[in-house]
Amino acid sequence: SASQQLYNRICQLMREKQPYTDSDLNRDSLAQMLATNYNAVASAIRECGEGQTIGVFLDDWRIRHAAQLVAATNNPVGLIAKQSGFSSRSHFNSLFREKFKMTPSEYRNIAKEKAGK
């Protein structure tokens, strides 16, 4: 369907260009990158992304990106939150805890233990 095709394009854009790392990215700038309007983007994400809003969708990409950086680098968590497109450290922390059931520091320690084995 058209929605599925657009959703695939959105995900491809996320993987290749990582626009979500810009905290100023919003539904209008995202739609502009895809040469469409934000209603089309919103409905494609809602239909193909398990009912997600654009904000939840972007946060999901951001938090997964952040988790990779937490596991792979020694960068301070605040910097990683910023590099992943979060403008609020507290929003980042609560989302991280919600998704991974632990703090970024705990996540990093577990990743280091796994890497060391």
Q: Answer whether 44's CB lies under 8 Å from 27's CB.
A: no
User: pLDDT for 78-96, tens place per residue?
Assistant: 999 999 999 999 999 999 9
Token pair recorded at residue 80: 């990683």
Rounded Cα distance, 33 and 99, in Å: 28
Token pair recorded at residue 106: 């705990």
Q: Name the residue with tokens 């790392």.
A: 21
State the CB neighbour count (10 A cutoff) for residue 43.
Answer: 14
Residues 6+ apart with CB under 8 A from 92: 62, 63, 66, 81, 84, 86
What pLDDT is stored for residue 100 in this prediction? 97
Inform me whether the pLDDT recorded for 117 exceeds 80: no
Q: What is the pTM of this model?
A: 0.94
User: pLDDT for 13-37, tens place per residue?
Assistant: 999 999 999 999 988 999 999 999 9
Q: Answer whether 10's CB lies under 8 Å from 44's CB.
A: yes
What pLDDT is stored for residue 99 in this prediction? 97
The torsion angle over the Cα atoms of residues 62, 10, 1 and 38, rounded to 10 degrees, is 90
pLDDT band at 3 (very low <50, low <70, confident <90, very high): very high
Average pLDDT of span 31-51: 96
Q: What share of the chain is helix, strand, coil (3-state, %, to 5)?
A: 75, 0, 25
Rounded Cα distance, 19 and 103, in Å: 25
